[in-house]
Amino acid sequence: MAGKIIHCGAAGAGQAAKVCNNMVLAVQQIAIAEAFVLAEKLGLSAQSLFDVITGATGNCWAVHTNCPVPGPVPTSPANNDFKPGFSTALMNKDLGLAMDAVAATGATAPLGSHAADIYAKFAADHADLDFSAVIHTLRARADA
């Protein structure tokens, strides 16, 4: 799993940190997918957008590891029929845990909540795909 161990506190704190981190990852992955769908509609190549994002303020781990379109990142699940590195089912589970924590604490997470809704719907039919395959949902909405 992780290459670095970070002590987060009492028992359960590590799990709490994990669901918070995966909520961030889900929101990032959706934003990345939205950008690539928009780029397609604008006539930009995936490689051009990848080069801009990774050289500018949109740069993040998710785009380097889980670029949702084939080509720019040879090891991305998009280049392997979205065979999971981290499945949609697992992302959906972690987002459910994050939303449970939001409800239990009274915190607010409007983007996390929206991501949880998107992944719950996507997981209903595509739980076995990598979570970066969520681009299929966004592309379908754009084409509707």
Residues contacting residue 97 through CB under 8 Å, at least 6 positions apart: 15, 19
* 18 annotated active-site: yes
- Catalytic entry in 18, 41, 83, 93: 18
Torsion of CA 125, 128, 131, 137, to 10 degrees: -20
Q: Which helix (H) or strand (E) holds 19?
A: helix 13-42
Active site residues: 18
